[in-house]
Every structure is written in C-alpha cells, then in structure tokens.
Structure 1
Amino acid sequence: MTIKTKIIIGLLTVLVFIQFFGFDNEIPAYEAKNDFITMMNPPAEIAQIIKTSCYDCHSYETKYPWYASVAPVSWWIGDHIEDGRKHFNLSTWGTYTEKKALHKLEEFYEEVEKGEMPLSSYTILHGDASLSPEQVSQLVTWVKSLPGVEAEH
C-alpha cells in the first residue's frame, strides 16, 4: 500500500469517525407567546422578511439543511446558530426586559442597515434570505417606527 493510499484511508476513517460527534440541534422548550412576530405583530410583508432572513439563525425555528448533519460542517453551523441565538433570539423575545428589547431592536436595524445581516456566508446558500435595498428600507423603517426605538444615537 502506498503512502498516498494510507493517507486517503486515514482521512476517510477520521471523516467517518467525526460523524459520531454532531452538534445538539434539539429545540429547547419555549413559549410561543414570547415569539417576536407574535408579540410585535409586524405587517405581513415585514413578518415574512424576518421569517425568511432571520429566523434560521436567531430563533428556535431553524430549518436545518441536509449538510447540517455532516461533520465538520455541522459543527460550524451549530456554533453559528448558537451564537446567533445568544445575541438575538426571536423565540424568546417576550423574556427580554424593555431596556434589552429596545437595545436589540436598535442593533437589529443597524446591522440590517449596514448590510451586516443577514450574513453573506448564510445568503450564499440561502439566496431567498438576501435582502433587496427595498426590503432593507422597509425593515429599517418599520423597526425605527416602533415606540421607544431611537433612530439616531
């Protein structure tokens, strides 16, 4: 057996072995009444934009693609979603204090306005999550119109 063959067999063995160490994609228990869209009641078009562009990474309503089950890609996706939920979780919106919620809304529109959200690494494979300039404007305008949201710092 050549060294090249041994390396290939070794790499394939490692690839198979790491499949046993996936990420935890269990949905934690949460109350639907605390969901952002339920509580904030945005217009239907805004709600659809948020569902399509934000909910996969920032809620417990993640739709995992098939490749999210294949390590090491699954680890990257799992970490990305965990981090997204930690910063802004639309499924637990109702648990935020008023001060925290207002701060999150300000961060939300700023990230969208600057084009930093949704992440380009996400929209490459989820083209429907990309926001057109018109959608960015609609979303930012709606968030800025909410009571207590400071449009300028």
Structure 2
Amino acid sequence: MKRIFLILIGVFLILQFFPIARTNPSVTSEIQVSPEIKEVLKRSCYDCHSNETIWPAYSYIFPASLLIAHHVEEGREELNFSEFGLLSERKQNKKIYEVWEQVDEGEMPPKDYLLMHPSSKLSEKDKEILKVWSDQYNKESE
C-alpha cells in the first residue's frame, strides 16, 4: 500500500514538469464599451473570455492546470472580448444578447469559478448594467 502511494506521489510530481500552455495572445480588436461596462466585464468575464487572462498560482499545478487551460480555451472560442471588434455587427449583437441571457440564467460566471474568485460575482447593480447595455445594443441593430 505504501509503495502504491509513493508511486502515485512520484507520478504526480513528474507531471508537474510538463507545463500546460497558458497563453495570452495579443489583443487585436477589443470590445468598445463605456468604462462602467468594461469594469464589470473585466472583473467577471475577462479571465475566460479575453486574451487578458490572469493565471492564478493554482493554474500551474497539475491537474488543475489542464482543467483551467481547457476552460479558458473554450471560453475564448465562445466569446473573446479581445477580438470582439473582428465580428460582424450582427454577430456582435447576438453575442451581447447571449451575454445577458447567460447572466440572467445564472450560468455566468460559473459557480465553480466563483468559488475561487468571489470578487467576480455579479451584484444586482452589475446585472442591471449588463441588462441595460444588452437592451440598448440590440435596439441599435434594429
């Protein structure tokens, strides 16, 4: 039993030497919004949905590194505020609506993310800011 435990510890330690890519590509066409909206997005969304991810210390420890890198990759694929300006106006409007929809349904920010980042929790005021923004943005496209 002790031998198996030591082998598992050894494997765990060896895996720490195989780093996972934690990149922050250049910001190419950042979303243009008011400072008030930008503050909410930066605090609650940018870690997974931009090229400005702040990689916490635990993102360097296997197996958390795999999980976090995968979440960020998925988040950027779905919506990347650092490349938002590259989207057509129609796609931008759709994404803004989806932001509000996810927030309204309590899906964003994810609860598991909030466990480690409680300051990213959206207040009622934050939600209202995003709701008004989403409504305004979608009305502009009509």
1:65 counterpart (56, 59, 68): 56
Please report the TM-score for the alignment, with normalisation by the length of structure 2.
0.92
1:35 counterpart (15, 30, 34): 30
Deviations 1:66-113 (A, max 9, x none): 000001100000000000000000000111112211111111111011
Q: Distance in 1 between matches of 2:5 and 2:80?
A: 42
Unmatched tracts of structure 2, length 5 or more: none
Q: Distance in 2 between matches of 1:73 and 1:50?
A: 24
Q: How many residues align?
A: 140
Whether 1:103 and 2:94 are equivalent positions in the alignment is yes
Please report the TM-score for the alignment, with normalisation by the length of structure 1.
0.86
Is the 2:26–2:51 Cα contact (8 Å) retained in structure 1?
Answer: no
Identity of counterpart residues, as a percentage?
34
1:90 equivalent in structure 2: 81
1:123 equivalent in structure 2: 114
Q: Distance in 2 between matches of 1:127 and 1:141?
A: 24
Aligned-partner residue type, residue 60 of structure 1: N
Q: Which runs of 4+ in 1 moved over 3 A?
A: none
Aligned-partner residue type, residue 28 of structure 1: P
Instruction: Compute the displacement of 1:20 (Å).
Output: 2.4
Which structure would you say has the larger Rg? 1
Q: Distance in 2 between matches of 1:63 and 1:35?
A: 17
Is the 1:22–1:75 Cα contact (8 Å) retained in structure 2?
Answer: no
1:21 counterpart (11, 18, 22): 18
